[in-house]
Structure 1
Amino acid sequence: MSGVNFSDNSICPSIDNFRNKIYSTVYSLITVFGFVGNGFALYVLIKTFRQRSTFHIYMMNLAISDLLCCLTLPLRVVYYVNKGHWYFGDFLCRISSYALYVNLYCSIFFMMAMSCTRFIAIVFPVQNLKLVSERKAKIICACIWIFICVTSSPFLMSGTKEVGNKTKCFEPPSGTDTHKLVILNYFSLVVGFSIPFLVILICYTGMIWTLMVNSGSMKKQKSMQTKAIRMICIVMAAFLISFMPYHIQRTLHLHFLMKKGSSCDDIVYMQKSVVITLCLAAGNSCFDPMLYFFSGENFRRRLSSFRKPSVSTNLTEKKKKKKKKKKKTCTVNKINVESHKREEESLRGIDDKVVSASD
């Protein structure tokens, strides 16, 4: 699915230069921003793990998913910089394809879980304590990982291909493999995208309705409202910009592969659309740090509390130094007093001896 070359388009102009430039540039940017953003977020979340909540657990899993995907993107960059020649073996080719799709659908499902958590907290605040817990969040995360890893396993089937004197990776299927991939596509389109998107829309509709009905002047109500609005904006942007174009285009692309006698203009247009939408899908790793910072539960407070320990340690060190100085002065004073007492006792002893001698 990542490739853009068709088996019957030798007459049509190649878009290899376009593909290599776009993929290498975009994947490089995603790698840098994805590593920095998600790496920093994960570092803060781990450091402030004692303040964990259900939202915190989902954010940690989302950051881990993004970082695992970012680890494989440099391999894609090298591949496209070398004009479509794969140097890393069949195993890493399969893992690179697999990691991208695992990250894509883990992101969707973790966003759905976070949206449901926020929905329950706003719409059912009384039942929130019973329905939402850290233990349940961990179980849900484990189920998401297992489900996505198992259902994405067919993407491990597409490995390297020898085309001329080049070893190719991320190439589209041909023949009977296309029909199998169409079935897999519809499964992922319905289960992996449409159902989570529908659940998120229902959650956001309920959240907006509840916040509008219960809109008050309380600070807590306003902060909850701003958090919810931020989360809605970021998640909807991720779906509309990153996930939706890719799933629509992928479905059209697979049907286009099965169709014969297409014009060169249609083939070139379809090839370029594959490149653009796949870049948008991979770019979801850059959306998630925005989700942590702008709508994450107390994430900015975690940042401030993360800075405080360094300040508090400096203060405690200063206090310790002051205490040490006080102890030193006290011990010096004690020594002086004791020596003074000894001198007095010795003088008294001399006086007594003199008196006894005079007697």
Structure 2
Amino acid sequence: MEMVAATNSTRNESDICTNLYDHRGWAQYFLPAMYSLICILGLLGNVLALHVIWPNLKKINSTTLYSANLVVSDILFSFALPLRVVYYAMGFHWPMGEGLCKAMALLFYINMYAGVNFMTCLSVDRFIAVVLPLRFSRFRKVQKVRYICVAVWVVVFMQTLPLLSMPMTNIEQSGHITCMEFPNFEKIDNLPVMLIGAVLLGFGMPVITILVCYSALCYKLRILAKSNKLTERSGRSRKVIGVICTVILVFVVCYSPYHIDLLQYMIRKLRYEPDCSERHDFQISLHITVCLMNLNSCLDPFIYFFACKGYKKKVLRLLRKQVSMSFSSVVRTSPEGSSKDVFGNDKIHMSLRSNQKERSSVLLSD
């Protein structure tokens, strides 16, 4: 009886922790700045990626189809970020109601699970294309890939829709209304077991699949490069391996800290009830690791730049156009506007454009 009473008193004490959001002083400046940057870069980069993919839908392949779904997921997520910025800027206060909080949470978790699942599909697709092209080529046919994409979205919605039945907001003793914070979920029965299972299935299995597929892919590319001296001299295999390592690095750096942080805390909760200091430390670590995970949505376009030739062409073309327009405006506003100078500047301008074309052709010849 004494043990039960002690446990109950510990739980009651943990329920009234008032220090969980004591870091709002620096968080209401740091987090809005980070999420604003993620929103702007992610939206611009992914809209450009969609602009490149959309005109070529008739000749789309499996890789592009998976990438298109990843782009759509990132764009949807970007629409929820302005509300998140407002929430953090107000010092963890959400005055916009339970319904809008749930909608934002739904977009957040849809992006997380869709990102993990479609990056896993991309790794398996590349593995089949290079390592097992004959035996499983049917899984790379566009019609089959469309069904796989639909199945992935069904799985993602099955993973996220249960959130709608959970309370997302909570009124703190300070009067702040928090939204989508971990303490708001702690009243759910068997939460540690549920979250450990979610981490192992939703992150553990995909990350193992990605590492195995890309390791086998790199090994196969090295063998092909050694057997073909021309390929080895061109450095194409090294570039492909570089892109693969970049994808793995982005995935591991963005997704691992959050899931490892969640896993270790849930294991601790199964052993004992963390005190207020531990709960506060976990809150800080969650805000940082979630921010790092969301960074993935604006890093994806950089992967497209190095991996997708069409995307690279579009970005370089826009940059050339911007440089050309800037140079033309300088020429027009030049105080020494004689015809001789203008023709001289035009020649320089044309020379610069030709040099840029030569450089871009070298960049795009990989």
TM > 0.5 between the two? yes
Aligned position for 1:239: 251
* Pair 1:270–1:148, CA change in 2 (3 A): same
Aligned position for 1:209: 219
Q: Please give the alpha-carbon distance, in whole angstroms, between the structure 1 residues aligned to 2:185 and 2:312.
A: 52
* Pair 1:218–1:134, CA change in 2 (3 A): farther
1:299-338 to 2 correspondence within 5 Å?
299-300=311-312
* Pair 1:227–1:110, CA change in 2 (3 A): farther
Q: Please give the alpha-carbon distance, in whole angstroms, between the structure 2 residues aligned to 1:272 and 1:197.
A: 25
Q: Please give the alpha-carbon distance, in whole angstroms, between the structure 1 residues aligned to 2:53 and 2:19.
A: 54
Q: What is the root-mean-square deviation in Å for CA atoms of aligned residues?
A: 2.8
Aligned position for 1:131: 139
Number of equivalent positions: 301
Q: Are the equivalent residues in 2 in contact too, given 1:56–1:297 (CA < 8 A)?
A: no
Gap regions ≥5 residues in structure 1: 1-5, 308-359
Is the counterpart of residue 115 in structure 1 residue 123 in structure 2? Answer: yes
Q: Please give the alpha-carbon distance, in whole angstroms, between the structure 1 residues aligned to 2:34 and 2:314.
A: 31
Aligned residue type for 1:166:
H
* Pair 1:47–1:206, CA change in 2 (3 A): same
* Pair 1:232–1:241, CA change in 2 (3 A): same
Q: Please give the alpha-carbon distance, in whole angstroms, between the structure 2 residues aligned to 1:260 and 1:114.
A: 40
Aligned position for 2:275: 262
Please, which moves more after superposition, 225-234 or 240-249? Answer: 225-234
Q: 1:21 aligns with which of 14, 25, 29?
A: 29
Q: Are the equivalent residues in 1 in contact too, given 2:42–2:298 (CA < 8 A)?
A: yes
Q: 1:250 aligns with which of 262, 282, 286?
A: 262
Q: TM-score, normalised by structure 2?
A: 0.74
Gap regions ≥5 residues in structure 2: 1-13, 320-366
Q: Are the equivalent residues in 1 in contact too, given 2:138–2:144 (CA < 8 A)?
A: no
* Pair 1:223–1:196, CA change in 2 (3 A): farther
Aligned residue type for 1:158:
P
Could you tell me how far 1:241 is from its partner in structure 2? Answer: 1.0
Aligned position for 1:147: 155
Q: Please give the alpha-carbon distance, in whole angstroms, between the structure 2 residues aligned to 1:54 and 1:192.
A: 23
Aligned position for 2:172: 163
Q: Please give the alpha-carbon distance, in whole angstroms, between the structure 1 residues aligned to 2:160 and 2:178.
A: 21
SS in 1 for 2:171: strand
Aligned residue type for 2:170:
K
Could you tell me how far 1:146 is from its partner in structure 2? Answer: 0.7
SS in 1 for 2:217: helix
Higher Cα radius of gyration: 1
Please, which moves more after superposition, 152-161 or 96-105? Answer: 152-161
Aligned position for 1:89: 97
Could you tell me how far 1:268 is from its partner in structure 2? Answer: 4.0
Q: Are the equivalent residues in 2 in contact too, given 1:182–1:254 (CA < 8 A)?
A: yes
* Pair 1:45–1:303, CA change in 2 (3 A): farther
Aligned position for 2:347: none
* Pair 1:306–1:8, CA change in 2 (3 A): same
SS in 1 for 2:205: helix
Please, which moves more after superposition, 165-174 or 105-114? Answer: 165-174
SS in 2 for 1:152: helix
Q: Are the equivalent residues in 2 in contact too, given 1:23–1:80 (CA < 8 A)?
A: yes
Q: Are the equivalent residues in 2 in contact too, given 1:48–1:302 (CA < 8 A)?
A: no
SS in 2 for 1:214: helix
Could you tell me how far 1:226 is from its partner in structure 2? Answer: 4.3
Q: Are the equivalent residues in 1 in contact too, given 2:131–2:220 (CA < 8 A)?
A: yes
With CA pairs under 8 Å and 6+ residues apart, which has the higher RCO, 1 or 2?
1
Aligned position for 1:280: 292
* Pair 1:118–1:167, CA change in 2 (3 A): same
SS in 2 for 1:88: coil
Q: Deviations over 1:149-199 (max 9, x none)?
A: 111223332322233543321232468635443233123212211111111
Aligned residue type for 2:171:
E
Q: TM-score, normalised by structure 1?
A: 0.75
Could you tell me how far 1:286 is from its partner in structure 2? Answer: 1.4
* Pair 1:131–1:13, CA change in 2 (3 A): closer
Aligned position for 2:346: none
Could you tell me how far 1:252 is from its partner in structure 2? Answer: 2.7
SS in 2 for 1:177: coil
- The percent of aligned pairs where both chains have the same amino acid is 28
Aligned position for 1:67: 75
